Amino acid sequence: MNKKKVRHSLTYSACMGVCLVAFAPMAQSAETLVEALTGGKISGDLRYRYEWVDQEGIAKKAQASTLRTQLGYATGDYKNFDAFVQFEDVRAIGSERYNSTVNHLSQYPVVADPADTEINQAYLGFKGIPKTALKYGRQVIVYDNQRFIGNVGWRQNEQTFDALTLVNTTLPATAASYAHITNVNRIFSDKNPTLGNLRMDGDLLNIGYKGLKAGTLVGYGYFLDYKPGQSIPVTASNKTLGLRFDGAYAIDKTKLLYTAEYAKQSNYSNGASTIDADYGYAMLGLGLQGMQIKFNYELLGGDGIYGFATPLATLHAFNGWADKFLTTPKDGIKDAFISAGGALGGVSLLAAYHDFSSDHLGYQYGKEWDAQASKKLGKYLTLLAKYATYRGDTNALNRTRNPVLAQDIDKFWLQAEVQF
C-alpha cells in the first residue's frame, strides 16, 4: 500500500467521524451545533530558525534557514464531542544549503527539516465518560520527559501519531493513559518514502501517581509491533517496562531535586531474541533563587549486539544537542553530565557538559558542551540562541566500531517564535 495513503487514512477516518457525529442530529439542534463549530478557538505558531552545522568528514557547512507555520482550530463541545485540526507548513527561506534528507544535497550535513505541507493533527475528542478523555485521529502524544514517547518539538516538522488515546483520572491522584498507535508521522515528512512513516500496532500504557509528598511515581509499558517493509524491521519489535520517580524536597529556601528511573527492554511479537537491554537514569540537584544545578547519569545498555532503542522519543533533548546519539550504538551509552540553568536579566540560561562512553567494552565516545539563551518579549514572541560542540574520541575502538562518533561536530542556532 502507498505510504502516503497510509499516513492520511486515519486522518480521513477521523474527519469522517466528526462529520457523521456532528451533522447527523443537525435537524434537532442546529443552533447548538453551529455554536460548537463557530465558537471554537484558533491557534498558531510561526517559528523561524537559522541552523549552522560544521561536521567533520563533510567539506561543506550546512546553513539552513527555515520557517515553520502551524495553524489550528479547536471546536467547542457538542454533546461531549469536540474536534481539532491543525495544518503545518515548513519552508526553506532562500536557497537550500543543507541536507534535508529529501532534497538530495548530500554534500551538506543533515538538518532534518524538509520543506512540506501537511495535516499535522486532526482528531475527534469525546468526554462523555466520567473523568475520561478519548481522542481518535492524528495527534500529539507526550509522556513524562519524552524519553520514550514524544513529539520531537525541536524539529520544524512535528512528530504526531495516528492513534486512539484514553486518559482516565478516576483513582485519586492518578492519571492512567493508554494509546493504540497505527502509524507514526515522523519528522522526515511524506516526501521521504523510507523514513517518513513508521507503521505499527503499538500499545502504550503510562500510569502516574502524585499522592506521595516526596514526588511522582510513574509505571509504564510500551509495546511496539512493527509492520514489515520499513526502515525499522519487524525483527526490531520490542517491549519496554519501567518505573520512574521524580520529586523535590524543600530545605529552607533550597530545593533538593532528585529523579530515579529504570526500564527493561526485550523482544516482542516478531522481535529478535537478541533484544535485551537495560535503561537507567539518576539525577541529584539543587535549586536556589531560580537557579538549578543537576548531576546526571544515564545508561542505555548495549552488549555489542543490541543497544537500548527509543525510536519514538524526542531525541534532541537527550545525550547532547549535537545529536550524535539519535540511534543507540550496539555497545550502548553511558552519559555522565552536569547541567546548570537560571535567569539573568530576564534571559533564561542553560548549559551542560557531557562525557560519553560505551556500556560494552568501556571505551570513550567523546565529550560535548551545550549552551542556550532565550528571552521572551511580550506575550507572543520568544528569541533563542543555542550552541553545541561535540569532540569525538579517536581511540582505536571508537574509530573501528563507531567511526561517526569519533568525528567532531559543531552546531549553532538562532530562532524567533511567535505563538498565539
Is residue 27 pLDDT above 90, yes or no?
A: no
Confidence grade of residue 4 (pLDDT, cut at 50, 70, 90): very low
Q: What is the pLDDT of residue 169?
A: 99
- pLDDT tens profile 117-171: 999 999 999 999 999 999 999 999 999 999 999 999 999 999 999 999 999 999 9
Mean pLDDT of the chain: 94
Q: What is the pLDDT of residue 95?
A: 95
Nearest to 131 by CA among 83, 175, 165, 163: 175
Residue 122's H or E segment, with its range, is strand 116-126
What would the mean pLDDT of 389-394 be, rounded to a whole number?
98
Cβ neighbours of residue 235 closer than 8 Å, sequence gap 6 or more: 270, 271, 272
Cβ neighbours of residue 379 closer than 8 Å, sequence gap 6 or more: none
Contact 368, 388 (CB under 8 A): yes
Is residue 10 pLDDT above 50, yes or no?
A: no
Is residue 14 pLDDT above 70, yes or no?
A: no
What would the mean pLDDT of 304-308 be, rounded to a whole number?
99
CATH number of 240-420: 2.40.160.10
- pLDDT tens profile 95-129: 999 999 999 999 999 999 999 999 999 999 999 99
What proportions of the chain, in percent to the nearest 5, are helix, strand and coil? 10, 55, 35
Is residue 24 pLDDT above 50, yes or no?
A: no
Percentage of residues in the chain having pLDDT higher than 90:
90
Look at 39 and 63; give whichever has higher pLDDT.
Answer: 63
What would the mean pLDDT of 17-37 be, rounded to a whole number?
52
Least confident piece of the model among 7-16, 64-73, 147-156, 218-227: 7-16
What would the mean pLDDT of 344-351 be, rounded to a whole number?
97
Is residue 46 pLDDT above 60, yes or no?
A: yes
What would the mean pLDDT of 405-410 be, rounded to a whole number?
98
What would the mean pLDDT of 340-344 be, rounded to a whole number?
97
Question: SS3 for 248?
Answer: strand
Domain ranges of the chain: 240-420
Q: What is the pLDDT of residue 31?
A: 54
Percentage of residues in the chain having pLDDT higher than 70:
93
Confidence grade of residue 3 (pLDDT, cut at 50, 70, 90): very low
Whole-prediction pTM? 0.91
Is residue 11 pLDDT above 80, yes or no?
A: no
Q: What are the grid coordinates assigned to 202, written together? A: 503499538
What would the mean pLDDT of 367-386 be, rounded to a whole number?
98
Least confident piece of the model among 35-39, 324-328, 390-394: 35-39
Is residue 30 pLDDT above 90, yes or no?
A: no
Nearest to 235 by CA among 273, 195, 284, 278: 273
Q: What is the pLDDT of residue 41?
A: 96
Is residue 7 pLDDT above 80, yes or no?
A: no
Output Rg (C-alpha) for the chain, integer angstroms.
Answer: 22
Contact 268, 301 (CB under 8 A): no
Determine phi and psi for 111, rounding to 5 degrees: -125, 105
What would the mean pLDDT of 237-265 be, rounded to a whole number?
98
